[in-house]
Structure 1
Amino acid sequence: MKVVIKTYSVFKDVLGNEIELELKEPLTVRELLRILEERYTLPRDLEKLVIVDDKVVDENYVIDRDTTVHVAPPFSGGGRLVDVKILDEDSEVDFNQLLKGLMNSGAGALSVFVGFVKKYVEDHEVYELEYSAVNSVALKQLEKIAHEEAEKHGLNAVVLWHYLGKRKPGDVTVIIATVAQNRVSALNATRNILERVKKEVPIFKLERRSDGEYWVVGDAKRYQRRASNE
């Protein structure tokens, strides 16, 4: 199993831009970092931010295949993590892993918003929501919002993930997480990102419920779907 280690900032000065390791069996991130500290003198006194497959992972994450692992010190000042994704309906999110990774960013506040499907709307039972989008445009717009709000509020990190496809009551639809030096910046950024996503991103929502099907536009406007459109 070949694992490529790419390093940044002060770690790059120690290990160089990247190194390759040939491993005979799976190992955890904790075990990998120990190898880097003992064999390659990676500084022990600095926290490590580890990213695999574009996700921040914790020390219990198991590396069990050929992959690239990014290792960086905590963000400060100008450095930041911006993680934007469109998820399909079969994707599952490990919230423990997500939060642990963000809490290791070296900042002082973490704000998280998780949207999920309601069971009842206007006293009518909701069966499911179906999200569709102009994917390429939606992703670019999500990235634009994330970067702009990160810059505006001086965030250390921002995560913005939105689901497409069918979602049942209780299913997650959108995840927004912001990390900042203080709670005011984190909370304001999360609120602004949510409102901008609703207004600026071409993601469309069809609500199927006990009294029919409705296109949901904005926060509350609902237009009943015509039978001829089915």
Structure 2
Amino acid sequence: MRVIVQAEPFDLGALSNAFAADAGGAGAVVTFTGLVRDNGGALAAMEIEHYPGMTEKAITAIVEEARSRWALLDALVVHRYGRLAGGEAIMMVATAARHRAEAFAAAEFLMDYLKSRAPFWKKELTSDGAEWVAAREVDEAALKRW
């Protein structure tokens, strides 16, 4: 299990391939990559802030929760911070399990919790100014099923 919080872009293909190669005994590997939404060209950039140490600890706890609920062989979470342009990869989740249902469920659980509970603060920068991204009801509702 690994949690990586970094400013630098990541190589999705290399990370996915390495994760799958190390997932001995897995019958399924699920990956998801979140991108910065460009909002129809209005977004100049997104700035993401976090508290080092606290963020990694919170995400690790979320991953441990997933591992306690599903028979995961491995899990990987990568999340970026700093200034990102529209279309850039912001995060990645990978899960490995013996069966696909567990890998998919755990990945979806991690994505839902990362979206609403991971301690990141996001600010969208547009030609109209800057605005902090508020919590969305749809994201909170997604947590209720877990």
TM-score with structure 2 setting the length = 0.85
- 1:164, distance to aligned residue in structure 2 (A): 0.7
Shift, 1:103, TM fit = 2.0
**Where is the helix percentage greater, Structure 1 or Structure 2?**
2
Counting only pairs closer than 5 Å after superposition, residues 46-125 of structure 1 correspond to structure 2 as 82-88=1-7, 91-104=8-21, 105=23, 106-120=25-39, 125=42
Partner of 1:213: 130
- Checking the alignment, whether the CA contact within 8 Å between 1:128 and 1:168 is kept in structure 2 is yes
Q: What is the rounded CA distance, in whole Å, between the counterparts of 1:173 and 1:86 in structure 2?
A: 10
Matched position secondary structure for 2:86: coil
Question: Which amino acid letter does the alignment assign opposite residue 134 of structure 1?
Answer: Y
Q: Which has the higher contact order (CA 8 A, sep 6+)?
A: 2
**Aligned mates of 2:12, 2:87 — CA distance in 1:** 15
Alpha-carbon separation, structure 1, partners of 2:105 and 2:51: 28
Unmatched 5+ stretches in structure 1: 1-81, 222-230
Q: State the distance in 1 between where 2:3 and 2:121 align.
A: 18
Q: Which amino acid aligns with 2:3?
A: V
Q: Report the Cα distance in structure 2 between the residues aligned to 1:175 and 1:169, rounded to whole angstroms.
A: 16
Give yes or no for the alignment of 1:175 onto 2:101.
no
Report the Cα offset of residue 218 of structure 1: 2.1
Matched residue pairs, number? 136
Q: Is the contact between residue 59 and residue 114 of structure 2 (CA under 8 Å) also seen in structure 1? A: yes
Measured in 1, the distance between the counterparts of 2:136 and 2:34 equals 13
Contact preservation (8 Å) 2:74, 2:96: yes
**For residues 184 and 160 of structure 1, what CA distance do their matches in structure 2 show?**
19
Kept in 1: contact 2:38–2:86 (CA 8 A): yes
* CA RMSD in angstroms, aligned pairs only: 1.8
Contact 1:127–1:168 under 8 Å retained in 2:
yes
- Residues 78 and 91 of structure 2 are in contact (CA less than 8 Å); yes or no, is this contact kept in structure 1? yes
Task: Flag structure 2 segments of 5+ consecutive residues without an equivalent.
Answer: 139-146
Instruction: Give the structure 2 partner of residue 164 of structure 1.
Output: 81
How many Å separate the matches in 2 of 1:174 and 1:220? 21
Q: Which of 146, 159, 174 matches 2:63?
A: 146
Write the distance in 1 (CA, Å) between the matches of 2:64 and 2:95.
Answer: 11
Larger-gyration structure (1/2): 1
Aligned residue in 1 for 2:43: 126
Sequence identity, in percent? 24
Query: 3-state DSSP class of the match of 2:75?
Result: strand
TM-score, with structure 1 as normaliser? 0.55
1:44-83 per-residue CA deviation (whole Å, 9 max, x = no partner) reads xxxxxxxxxxxxxxxxxxxxxxxxxxxxxxxxxxxxxx01
* Distance in 2 between residues matched to 1:172 and 1:158, nearest whole Å: 18
How many angstroms does 1:198 deviate by? 2.3
Q: Which amino acid aligns with 1:197?
A: L
Change (3 A) 1:101 1:187: same
